[in-house]
Chains A and B, each alone.
Chain A
C-alpha cells in the first residue's frame, strides 16, 4: 500500500524503480512477517511441551512421595508385624512383590531392597529373643521333670515311712522344699510363654486346687482355708489356677507380718467363682495399687524376659500372664483387715459340677490304688461280703457293681481291689442277678457270719445310697475313657 501511494505521488520516470523498490520492500516485509509468525507458532508448541513435561515431572514427584510415604506408613510396619507374628522373611517379601505389580517398577525394586534389609534385622532380633525364651522354657521343663520325679519319690517314701514320725516329718519338709522349687520352675516356664507344667485330664475339686496352691508356698501354715463351695475345676485350668493362686498367696504371706493369718475363701458369683485372698499386712497405698495393677496389665499385654530387671518380682507378672491366657480376672484392693485383698475370678466355663475325683470330696468312696496309673481314677463300690444290718432292700443299688472295664468281646469286667476274696458257693447263682455282673449279687446275698462290723463299715465306705448316683455316673464316664 505504501508503494502504491508513492507511485501515485512520484514522477513518471521514477515510477518503475519506485515500483520495484515497493515490490521488494513488500516482499521483504511479508517474509519477515511470515518468519515471525512461524517462530511464534514454534514457541507456543515448545511452551506447551515444556508445560506438559513439567506436569509429568510434578506428578512423578508426587507419586514418588506417595510411594515413600506408603513404604514408611504401610509396607514396613506391615512387614515387621508379619515377621513378629512368626512368618519367614522370604514369604513376606514374596507377598509384597506380588501386591506391587501395579506400581512403579523402579521404586518397587528399591522398596523391596529397603524392606529386605529391615526384615533381616528384625528377624535376627526376633530369632534371638525366641531362642532365649525357648532356652528358658527348656531349662524350666527340665527342672520341672526332676522336681516331679522327686515329688513322686518323696510320696512313695512318705507312704513307706509313714510309721516313723521322725522320718516322716523330715520327708514332709523335703517335700515342701521340692514343691517350692517346682513353683519357681513353673513361673519361669510361664514367663517364657509356655504352659505352667503338669496337666490334669480330669476335673479337680476347687478345695483340692486351693490346697494345692497352699502347698506351693513357704508359709502355708499361716493360710486359713475357709468354706469353699463344692465345685470342680476342669482339667486344663487346674494347673494355671493353682499356680496363679499360689503366686497371690505367696505375695500375701510374704508382705504381711509373720504372726498374722492369711484368709483364703472361694464363693460363687455370677461370673463364676471368686477366690479371695486377704492378708493383714501393710495396706496397699493408692500409688502401690496402681503400680501393681499396671504390672498386671503389662504382663497381660505380653512380657519381655529382658524387662524383668535385676531383682525380678515374678509373682504379679506370672499372674498377669496366666489370667490373660485363661481369662481370670484379678483385682487388688485394700482389705478390711488392713492389708491387701486379692480377688481372682474364675469364669464359668472353667467350672464343672460333675463329681470330681480327689482327696477332698467323697474321700474313701472314690479311690483306686495309687500305683495303678494305666487306668483313669474310678470309683468302685467295694463288694459287700456279709448281710447288712440296715436297709437290706434299698441298699441293692449299691450292690450293683459298676462296670469299669470291658473285655475284648464286650463283656463287662470288674476289677477287684481288696486282697480278701469273698467266698462263692453254688447258692450264689440262685440269687437275683443285676444286669452287669452276676457274680457280685451272689456275694451280696452270701451270708457270711464273721465280720459283721466289717460289712457295716464297707457299706459306709461304698457310699450312702444318696451318693450312689454321682458315683455311678462318674465311673461310667471313666469306663468310656478306659475303652
Chain B
C-alpha cells in the first residue's frame, strides 16, 4: 500500500466520517483536520515521478488503474487546499449536505486526477459531475433552477465525452491512455475526437458557448460550497482537456486540422474561444449587481486565461496557464469568503444595498482588497505572475490581437472588482448596517491565511512555480526555468525576466515614501462620515451620496448594444428546439392507437436495417 492508496482511502474515509459526524461542531473541526491530513499524505507522494495505485480492476479484459503524476499532484494540492479552507470557513454551517458534498467532491476529484485510462477517466468524470450537484442545491429556490440547468449541460457534456471514448475504443480497440498515440488515426478522426472530448470537457470548464450555467450554479448556493466550487471545481474541465491534449490530440495535430483552408486551424479556433471566454464573461460580470454573481462570472472569464496559456503550449505560456489555476483558486476563494461574510452579517449581497462596511468589517475588507488585487493581476499579489507569463508568451509568439483581447479582459476585471469593493466596503455606511459586526473568527482566520498565501506566492512565485514545473514535465513540456523570485527567459533573443522580489521592493519603497510624507505631516484627525462635502449641502443619511446603481453608466452606454449578441440566444434556440420536439413526441404518444404506430415505425426501421 503506497501513499496514493492511503490518500484515496483517507479521502473515502473522510466522506464516511462526514456522513456520520458532521452534525456536531467537533465533528466539523475534525473534518477540517482530515483535509489537512490528506494534504500531508499528498506531500508524501513524489510529484516528480509517476505513482501507480495498487487499486485496480479488470473489465472486459481491460485493466483499469489509478496513478498520480506531477499534473495530478498540482491539481490535487489546489483541491485539498480549497477544501481545507472551505471546510474551515464553514465550521458554523450546520447543513449536513454541505459537508458530505464537500468531502464527496474532494474524493471524486482525487479519483479523476488519478485516472489512469479513458474508462476510469469517464467514470470519475461522472462522479465529479454528480457530486457537484450536492454542493449546488444548498441555496434557496433559485439555486435549484441553476442546478437543473447544470445537470442538463453536464449530461450533454458527459454524453459527448462518452461518445468520444467509445469512438477511441472502436478505432483503436483499447481504452488505455496510450491507445491513440500508438495507433495513429486520420485527421478527420482526430477532428471528431477533438470536438467531442474538448467540447464535452469544456462544458465543465465553462468555455464559450457552454458557459451560461456556471455563474448561477456556483454563486447562489451556500458560502463554503461557493468557495470550493468557485476555486477549483471548473478546473477539473481544464485538467481533462490537458489529458486530452496529452493523450488524444496534441496541439500539433490540432494545428494541422484546418477549419478554413490554409488560414484558420482548430487550434486558432480554440485560442479565439479562450480569448472570447475572457472578454465576454468578464464584461457580463461588470453588469452584475449581485456580488456573488459578479465573482462567479469572473471565474468563467479567468478560465479563459488558463486555457489560453495552455494552448500556447510553450514553456512560459503553459506555466502561466497552470500557475493561474493555483493563483486564481486562492484569489477566488478569498473573494467568495469575503462576500459571504458580508452575506452572513448583513443578509444581502446586492451591491446596491451595501456600502461603507470597511468601518465595521475591516478584516473582510482586507481580505477582499488582497483578493481583488490578485484577481485583477496587479503586483504584489500572485495573480500578476501568472498573467505576466501568459502575456509574455502571447507577445513572444506574435499574437498581438489575442494579447489585446486578454488585456481588454483584464481591464474589465479591474473595473468590475473596483465596483465590487467600492459598492460593498467603501462609501456610505447604511443605517441598517450601523451595528454590523466583523465576521466570526472561523471565517476571518481562513481569509487571513489565504491572504498571506496570496501575498507570499506573489512575492516568491518560485514556491508555486516548482509545482508547476513538475506538472509541466509530467505533460511532456520543458519545465519553466524558475527561481525563488520569478522566471528566467529561456529564449535569449527576447529579453525579459521576472523577479517579483525586486518588483515588490520597488513597490514598497514607493509606499515607504508615501508613509514618510504621511507621518511627517503631523497627526491626522478623524471626521464623521456625514461631515462630507456635497456642493455645500447639509448631509444626513437621507441623502445618498454613494453612487452604486447603474455603475459605469457611461461605459455601459457604449457597450450595451454588444450584449445583444450574447450567447443567450443560442441557449434559447436549443431550448425551443427541445420544446418543439417534446410537443411532437407528446402528440405522438397521446394518440389512440399509439402502439400500432410504434409497431409500424419499428417494423419500418427494422426492414430498412435488414435491407
- A and B interact: no
Task: Tell me the B residues contacting A by CB distance below 8 Å.
Answer: none
